[in-house]
Amino acid sequence: MSRPIVAITRPKDRAKKACEIVEKLGGSAILAPTLDLEPVNSESLKYLVSKKEELDWIIFTSPTTIVSLNKFYPDFIKTLNCKLAVIGNKTGRLAEKNGLTVDLMPEDFTAEGLIEEFKKREITNQTIGIPRTASARPILPEELEKLGNEIILAEAYKSLFPMDEKAIKELIRKIENKEIDAITFTSPLTVENFFEIADDKEKLAHLLNDNLLTVCIGPITAKVLEKYNITYIYPDTYTVPDMMELLFKTWREENE
């Protein structure tokens, strides 16, 4: 059986592990980031840091948040004295690597999953810091606020339009030439930016449906794929390793 060629669209600084998994599972990875991330020392982040001693909880929704805080405030994380909630194994592992104890990580690695855990535990009247990208969905701070919590929202990094459009246009050319077997998306913006760069969005959607296996990390990203009428699959557990395992299992079943 031939080695499937898998397109990775996640940000470059997060893509190494995904590429390694593809190679380990017997495929070839092509990296074409449709999203770039840039740590930023925003005024809101400065304010959150100044309120550190007042925090009852802090929520890390991605590893990039931790990277940003360590870059601008190297003593912040190591001197935190509040409870920590995270979304996702990777974020949790990085937090623990930085000496923190994870108090809450939902089984459902989404904002909705974390909200449900806060509701179940009746966490209310707390001061909660949420450093993240400004382009993130508003549901997490809004719902936690409805529970009676005070939310300190801070921009820790920017989600940027891809800087290397050439790589994405080359990927689209390969898709048109049937040189790609599968494509992966790990966030709504990886999908949105991919189609934003395409000259003919409808044609690209047809190509994905007719010639590629499209795999996304979970239901939030899936909703954006639905907007473009893309057929997709996603794993039961919303992680990159699980996404890749599903991709290869499905691809092999379809190509036996």
pLDDT at 163: 83
Query: Going along 5-149, which residue ranges are E strands?
Result: 5-8, 28-31, 36-39, 57-60, 83-86, 127-133
State the average pLDDT for the chain.
Answer: 95
* pLDDT reading at 56 higher than 80: yes
Q: Is the pTM higher than 0.85?
A: yes
For residue 189, give both structure tokens. 């913006």
* pLDDT reading at 13 higher than 60: yes
Q: How far is CA 41 from the centre of its chain?
A: 21
Percentage of the chain modeled with pLDDT above 70 = 100
Q: Confidence class of residue 1 from pLDDT cuts 50, 70 and 90?
A: low
- CATH number 3.40.50.10090 is the correct assignment for the domain at 38-160: yes
pLDDT at 218: 95
Q: What is the mean pLDDT of residues 219-223?
A: 96
The predicted-structure confidence for 137-156, as pLDDT tens digits, reads as follows 999 999 999 999 999 999 99
Q: For residues 243 and 218, give the distance between their C-alpha atoms in angstroms, rounded to a whole number.
A: 9
Listed residue (126, 132, 119) closest to 37, CA to CA: 132
**What DSSP element (H or E) covers 153?**
strand 150-160
pLDDT at 212: 96
For residue 87, give both structure tokens. 């979304």
Q: What is the mean pLDDT of residues 33-56?
A: 96
pLDDT at 243: 97
CATH 3.40.50.10090 location in the chain = 5-35+162-254, 38-160
* pLDDT reading at 206 higher than 80: yes
**Residue whose tokens read 């990094």:** 157
What number of CA atoms fall less than 13 Å from residue 121's CA on the CB side? 16
For β-strands 213-216 and 182-185, DSSP reports them as parallel
- CATH number 3.40.50.1820 is the correct assignment for the domain at 5-35+162-254: no
Q: What is the mean pLDDT of residues 164-189?
A: 95
Q: What is the mean pLDDT of residues 200-225?
A: 96
* pLDDT reading at 130 higher than 70: yes
Q: For residues 9 and 136, give the distance between their C-alpha atoms in angstroms, rounded to a whole number.
A: 18
How many residues are there in the chain?
256
Listed residue (63, 68, 73) closest to 94, CA to CA: 63
Q: What is the mean pLDDT of residues 62-76?
A: 95
pLDDT at 148: 97
For β-strands 127-133 and 28-31, DSSP reports them as unpaired
pLDDT at 12: 86
pLDDT at 2: 79
154 DSSP β-pair partners = 131
For residue 190, give both structure tokens. 């990886």
